[in-house]
Amino acid sequence: MRLRGCFAPPPGNSVSGVLNAHPDLAGKLAAAKRLTAESTAEQAAVGLDALTDAERETFTRLNDAYTAKFGFPFIIAVRDNTKATIMERFSAVSTMTARPSSHRPANRWSGSRNCA
């Protein structure tokens, strides 16, 4: 069963714990090999385990910016994307070219929909 059906739409704090428990994409836990087997396999399938130094720096910067703006990590259904589409969507949201910062509830709902 997918977790997607277990979430209620925002506003609300009921999903915050689940969202905050998600690891950063290509983040410190991945580098330390401390992701679950499932997360490791998902990220490896799209090449997030084999980033260039520049890509890793970009992911770190985007992870930090997104978490600072929304209070939880960027979450996307990795298996439904490629490294390029993840980077594109992540960059757009983290730099606020896609959504204004006032849309924190929309981002929380988007994040909860991508938890699986």
Which one-letter DSSP state was computed for residue 24?
A: P
CA angle 36, 83, 49 (to 5 degrees): 40
Q: How many residues are present in the chain?
A: 116
Catalytic residue of the set 22, 99, 103, 113:
22
Going by C-beta distance under 8 Å and a sequence separation of 6 or more, which residues neighbour residue 59?
24, 25, 26, 27, 48, 51, 87, 90
Residue 22 annotated to the active site: yes
Which residues are part of the catalytic machinery? 22
